[in-house]
Amino acid sequence: MKIYEQTELDFKDVLIKPKRSYINSRSETDVTREYKFKWCPRKIIGTGVITANMATVGTFEIAKHMMQNKMFCCLHKHYSLDELIKFITENDCSEYVFLSMGLRDDDIEKIYTILDQYPDKCRNICIDVPNAYIPRVKELVIRMRQKYPDILLMVGNAVTAELVEDLILSGADIIKCGIGSGSACTTRRMTGVGRPQLSTIFECADVAHGIGGMICSDGGIVHIGDVAKAFGAGADFVMMGGFFAGCLEAAGDIITKKFQVNQIDENGEFLIETKQFKVFYGMSSEYAQKTHYCGMPSYRASEGRFVEVPLKPSIDRLLQDILGGLRSCMTYIGARRLKDISKCTTFYRVNTQLNTVFEK
Ligand code: 5GP
């Protein structure tokens, strides 16, 4: 038995140190960067915030908003071939949209059909397997890179240097990093496996950048400041699901519920408060298995949760908040360009991150 004694860190365990800077205003910062990849010959200019390929946020509707803001969307893998073709032929998806696939034959066939029949449309692919340590992932990466040398290929999920290195050298451009950090994820409870997200980024970004690859930090963004921390630690992209859950454009109906409040009106009746919610669920949850497949196979356990999250404003507003937080962080640390954040970041390790005295 082995144990790593060094304490692993999460976003909540650190704060970013402010530094003297030559930036006078947040408006002087550039929150985009030019992405150049190890294998894919294309260059993309954008902000590396990416919506997770989950059923309620990895949608066409969300993708349109992300594209308009020069940010990315990883579409969920449950769209049919016809739906995907319609979307990619009616919108310009070549830069900011990723198509997802797992290891199932029908997923692979669907993506191959799009790559073969629509070569000038969407060529950003995400091979998404919760556990990329299984050998079939690497085999698929090698096959796809040989068959389609020009695709932008993101692969996940991993949390350690050796797999990041292996998958990049096998043909991946971006490794999606994170196990067990997700808001709708119960993997750590069910399996005991996982790694705190900040330490995952440190290690994986270091090895990826050394060999010309990139990483996408996947999961665990709780506060907007965590996005800056992820970029500061070395992430090239930051994937978020739960943060966007409940926004107006997320898939799903608005659920209205009434709650009795512990206050009485002039007639002596208890006040009733109305709250609105939207559904959000993990893609390995029993709910997802039932909704998108034929139920849960007997050899699997649910590793995701189903929640009703309070209704949020429109996604454009959330994106503006993210960009505002990033610009402000960049001003505090003297990073004029998004690419400079990690060079300019020094973290304090903290015991308490936030003052929550007025939070419920
Ligand atoms: P969030 O931004 O909500 O914290 O994390 C989003 C990430 O959680 C997704 O990109 C994906 O990697 C992960 N995730 C989504 N659904 C599930 C699930 O059912 N189980 C697990 N283990 N992870 C999930």
Does the Cβ of 49 fall within 6 Å of ligand 1? no
Where in the sequence is the domain holding 229, given as residue range(s)? 11-249+310-349
**Residue where the block lists tokens 């990895």:** 58
Does 305 map to a domain? no
Question: 310 φ, ψ to 5°?
Answer: -60, 145
Which pLDDT score, from 0 to 100, does residue 128 have?
Answer: 97
Amino acid at 282: G
Strands 97-101 and 124-128, how do they pair? Answer: parallel
Q: Average pLDDT for residues 315-339, to the nearest whole number?
A: 97
Ligand 1 centre to CA of 177 (Å) is 11
Confidence of residue 67 (pLDDT cuts 50, 70, 90): very high
Does 124 map to a domain? yes
Does the Cβ of 234 fall within 6 Å of ligand 1? no
* Ligand 1 atom nearest residue 303's Cα: 20
The answer to whether residues 306 and 285 touch, using CB atoms and an 8 Å cutoff, is yes
> In this model, does residue 333 exceed pLDDT 90?
yes
Is 185 a catalytic site residue? yes
Does the Cβ of 227 fall within 6 Å of ligand 1? no
Amino acid at 54: M
Nearby residues of 325 by Cβ (< 8 Å), 6 or more positions away: 224, 225, 227, 228
Does 271 map to a domain? no
What CA–CA distance (Å, rounded) separates 151 from 318?
30
Is 122 a catalytic site residue? no
CATH number at residue 34: 3.20.20.70
Which pLDDT score, from 0 to 100, does residue 223 have?
Answer: 97
> In this model, does residue 338 exceed pLDDT 90?
yes
Which pLDDT score, from 0 to 100, does residue 237 have?
Answer: 98
Which pLDDT score, from 0 to 100, does residue 18 have?
Answer: 97
* Ligand 1 atom nearest residue 240's Cα: 2
Does the Cβ of 247 fall within 6 Å of ligand 1? no
Confidence of residue 9 (pLDDT cuts 50, 70, 90): very high
The answer to whether residues 228 and 16 touch, using CB atoms and an 8 Å cutoff, is yes
Does 128 map to a domain? yes
What CA–CA distance (Å, rounded) separates 134 from 183?
24
Does 100 map to a domain? yes
Q: Which among 185, 216, 329, 344 is annotated as catalytic?
A: 185
Does 302 map to a domain? no
The answer to whether residues 221 and 243 touch, using CB atoms and an 8 Å cutoff, is yes
Token pair of 220 as six digits: 């665990």
Does 221 map to a domain? yes
For a mutational test of ligand 1's pocket, the pick from 283, 300, 312, i.e. the residue with the most ligand atoms closer than 8 A to its C-beta, is 283
What CA–CA distance (Å, rounded) separates 81 from 110?
6
**Alpha-carbon torsion (123, 129, 130, 132), positive or negative:** negative
Which pLDDT score, from 0 to 100, does residue 107 have?
Answer: 96
**pLDDT tens readout for residues 182-232:** 999 999 999 999 999 999 999 999 999 999 999 999 999 999 999 999 999
Confidence of residue 297 (pLDDT cuts 50, 70, 90): confident
> In this model, does residue 360 exceed pLDDT 80?
no
**pLDDT tens readout for residues 245-287:** 999 999 999 999 999 999 999 999 999 999 999 999 999 999 9
Residue of 92, 98, 93 whose CA lies nearest to 125: 98
The count of domains in the chain is: 1
> In this model, does residue 150 exceed pLDDT 90?
yes
Does 269 map to a domain? no
* Ligand 1 atom nearest residue 156's Cα: 12
Does the Cβ of 217 fall within 6 Å of ligand 1? no
Beta-bridge mates of residue 308:
279
